[in-house]
A and B are shown apart, each in its own frame.
Chain A
Amino acid sequence: GIQVEQSPPDLILQEGANSTLRCNFSDSVNNLQWFHQNPWGQLINLFYIPSGTKQNGRLSATTVATERYSLLYISSSQTTDSGVYFCAVREGYQKVTFGIGTKLQVIP
């Protein structure tokens, strides 16, 4: 099956700093999503981005499907950005595979 690798596995930022999270996948995919799992365990949709670039406030994402990677940019990080960021890809019609995530801690 498809392999999804996320990097870095852990990241500590000072509040106000910027960061880039990466998701590499091993085969063609039909779609790709980024999620934020907050410290209470809730999974929050960030982006549905099978290709191209999207922005939502301080967050933006870019997927280059032909090169099999996606990037999530966080600018001016805040403590509320802490948690785990997951990339999930879909191959075929239904099969969805998650990466193991990037754990982000933003310190004041």
Chain B
Amino acid sequence: EIVLTQSPGTLPLSPGERATLSCRTSQSISSTSLAWYQQKPGQAPRLLIYAASSRATGIPDRFSGSGSGTDFTLTISRLEPEDFAVYYCQQTNNVQYTYTFGQGTKLEIK
């Protein structure tokens, strides 16, 4: 089983700042199998990025994804007030047909 480790657990930043969130996998994966989600309190998760770097429909271009192998990054170039939320990475195992989420990074207002 591939384990996803997100860091930091909590990231205090101010609006206007740049956010860099990390997702590391316990073994190398295909970039096509990595996605990022945003979840606000009391809401369902929202897809932000799929295939490591492709923005989902309607996602602002301040959100970008990058990475390969075992290290993946979600970057929010300039934080807006509505961006403060919990972010999850998710990996698809195309051999075992299973899906795994990271433990999440909480982006909070400093």
A associates with B: no
